[in-house]
Amino acid sequence: TVDDSEMLIYESPEFIRNSIKKSIKTLGKKGGYIPGPTNFLLDQPPENIVALFKSIQEFGNIY
């Protein structure tokens, strides 16, 4: 899962992008990882939510 209670609230879009890329590279081999938030996205800055989903889209096909 993606840390929606800390990372998506307090970190920068660039940090989120790098974190998603690292998670997909580490856990995503053979389609074994489906990134996504665990809760409703209510308190997160909109730019961080955009960074999350753009990163998933960009790096989701690494393998």
pLDDT digits (tens, 9 = 90+) for 26-62: 998 877 888 888 777 788 999 999 999 999 999 988 7
- 47, with CB counted inside 10 A (0-12, 13-18, 19+), is exposed
Cα dihedral angle (63, 51, 23, 29), rounded to 10 degrees?
-20
Cα–Cα distance measured from residue 62 to residue 12, given in angstroms and rounded to the nearest whole number: 23
3-state SS assignment for residue 6: coil
Contacts of 26 (CB under 8 A, 6+ apart): none
Query: If pLDDT is split at 50, 70 and 90, which confidence band does 4 have?
Result: confident
pLDDT on residue 61: 84
pLDDT on residue 42: 83
pLDDT on residue 8: 93
